Amino acid sequence: MLSQDSFLPAMHFPPRSHSVRAVLGGSIVPVIIVVAALALSTAIFFLFTKKKMEAQKEASSKAAEKTAAVAAAKTAPATDKAAPAPATPAPAAPPPAPPKPAAPAFAFARPLDLGRQLMRSLSTGDFATAGKLAATADSEQSDSAAKLFEKLASMGYKPAGEDQAELLGLVEDRTRIALPFVMPGSQETVRIQLDLERDEHMGWKVAKATLPKAMSSAVAAAPMPAVPAANPSAPAAVPAKPIFGVDDGTDALAFASDFVRHLLKHDFTAARAYVDEKKVPAERLVGLCIVFEEGQYNLNPAKPLIVTIANPEVSWVIAQVQSESLQQNTEFGVELKRADIAQPWKVAGLNLSDILGSFAKSASKLGVPYTPIVKNPKGGESLALYFEYDRAELHPRALKQLEVISALMKADPSKKLRIAGHTDEKGEDDYNIRLSRDRAEAVKRQLAALGVPADQVETTGLGKAQPLSPNKKSDGTDDPEGRSHNRRAEIYLDF
């Protein structure tokens, strides 16, 4: 077996004991130096660095404690010892105001929606909801409003159907609607008028409600809510303005609405009580009744009455009407005047040009003109009935006019009227005189058939002497349309 030495090159090795000492003796010094350096760095760390770190940590902890103490001192209530004593005793705090009732969650897209909902509540006896609806502008008045409606019911007033709520018109920035009530013991109606204004949260709300004088006693049964006593050191509280009031006859829109309502019912006698007879002739008023009767006009439900001028002593109201039978939308103006604010309104003028023009245009299709009110060549206004060429028979349209006139005559035997017949220029003078008389007499006979005594009517024939329109055109040729206006009988009312 070979020994290790056989694989090594031939070398000279010193004895083994000498090699160990040589190695130890040559490497011990560097090891000692390394160990000493490590020991020295550890000592330095413990003596200086660690001590400094602990000092910084302790300082940070004390700073945090101080910050927390300052914050606690700021939030903690001051002690009696720290708080200075007040020079004078503090005034007693006022008692908290009672919370206002929550506003009802109503929402109405159109003014009439609110009115119809109110009528439904009243019809079912739900006065609490009706009171809230009426007091949407001031919920503190809802109880008073409910008591008012309950009082009206106990007095015998019954709400008409909800479909009877109507839009009256516009005044300033408000929309007015009317709620009709049937009066106790009769079929007549009176109306509560509501002025509505738009609200961004609920659509429409009641800003003001006006009762007719017949309902005035119900207002006393619904007193305003008491206003809490104000703190002596605070400004005095201003009482709320009552929502409900009573019509005193000074509201222009309410006056005009009642006047137009009588005209639409062809009630000349009632409408005439609203008129200044020195400024509005009876013929003009009767003519408007005739137009409404013949054209079957009604107020435009979307835009009925609009107050265009609202002064204390002068107001103008535009009445917008429509006729389904004539497929027309037209209007007329109502001028209101009064001497001073203590006096009632009177109708001082009626501007009928638009409605008469629209009506005459539709009537021309029937073969005869139809302008029920005309300006007489000799002055003033009169009612006109038209005839076919060379005829004295009454046109069906004229018969309708005479029904309205006869009702006025029979109501008061002292009333008189005069009838003047007219012709165009064709034919001899003697013939035209006879034809004009025949036309006047035809009117008188029809009035007598309708019950008007003969001694209330006077007639005359004027032939072609007073034409309303030219019989010829400017170039001298015949004017058939102009001549048709001259074939007429005029009625003058001596009222």
Q: Same domain for 291 and 192? A: no
SS3 at position 189: strand
Q: Does residue 237 carry a pLDDT above 70? A: no
Q: Which domain holds residue 132?
A: 111-220+243-247
3-state helix, strand, coil in the chain (%, to 5): 40, 20, 35
Rounded CA gap, 347 and 308, in Å?
15
Q: Does residue 371 carry a pLDDT above 80? A: no
Place of tokens 């006096």: 343
Q: Does residue 272 carry a pLDDT above 70? A: yes
Q: Can you give the pLDDT at residue 293? A: 80
Q: Which of 71-80, 282-291, 394-403 has the lowest mean pLDDT?
A: 71-80
Task: Count the Cβ atoms, other than its own, within 10 Å of residue 31.
Answer: 9
Two structure tokens written together for 432? 């035209």
More confident of the two residues 26 and 214: 214
Q: Same domain for 195 and 299? A: no
Burial of 132 (0-12, 13-18, 19+ CB in 10 A): buried
Q: Does residue 66 carry a pLDDT above 70? A: no
Q: Same domain for 149 and 216? A: yes
Q: Same domain for 192 and 288? A: no
Mean pLDDT value across residues 156-182: 92
> pTM above the 0.75 mark?
no
Written as one string, the DSSP assignment of 415-472 is -EEEEEE---S-S-HHHHHHHHHHHHHHHHHHHHHTT--GGGEEEEE-TTSS-SS-SB
Place of tokens 């010892």: 81
CA distances to 84, 85, 86 from 90, in Å = 13, 11, 8
| Mean pLDDT, the chain, whole residue set | 79
Q: In one letter, which amino acid is 284?
A: R
Place of tokens 């004295």: 392
Q: Can you give the pLDDT at residue 425? A: 94
Q: Can you give the pLDDT at residue 41? A: 60
Domain total for the chain? 3
Give the model confidence (pLDDT) of 108-147 as tens digits.
889 999 999 999 999 999 999 999 999 988 889 999 999 9
Question: Residue 88 falls within a domain, yes or no?
Answer: no
Give the model confidence (pLDDT) of 412-445 as tens digits.
788 889 999 999 999 999 999 999 999 999 999 9
DSSP class of residue 15?
Answer: -
What secondary structure, in 3-state letters, does 174-210 show? EEEEEEEEECCCCCCEEEEEEEEEEECCCEEEEEEEE
Confidence of residue 6 (pLDDT cuts 50, 70, 90): very low
Q: Which of 16-25, 200-209, 381-390, 438-447 has the lowest mean pLDDT?
A: 16-25
Is residue 142 a contact partner of residue 154, using CB atoms and an 8 Å limit?
A: no
Last residue of a domain, one of 317, 347, 362: 362
Give the model confidence (pLDDT) of 24-57 as tens digits.
445 566 656 655 666 666 555 455 555 555 656 5
Q: Can you give the pLDDT at residue 20? A: 42
Rounded CA gap, 1 and 7, in Å?
12
Last residue of a domain, one of 318, 347, 362: 362
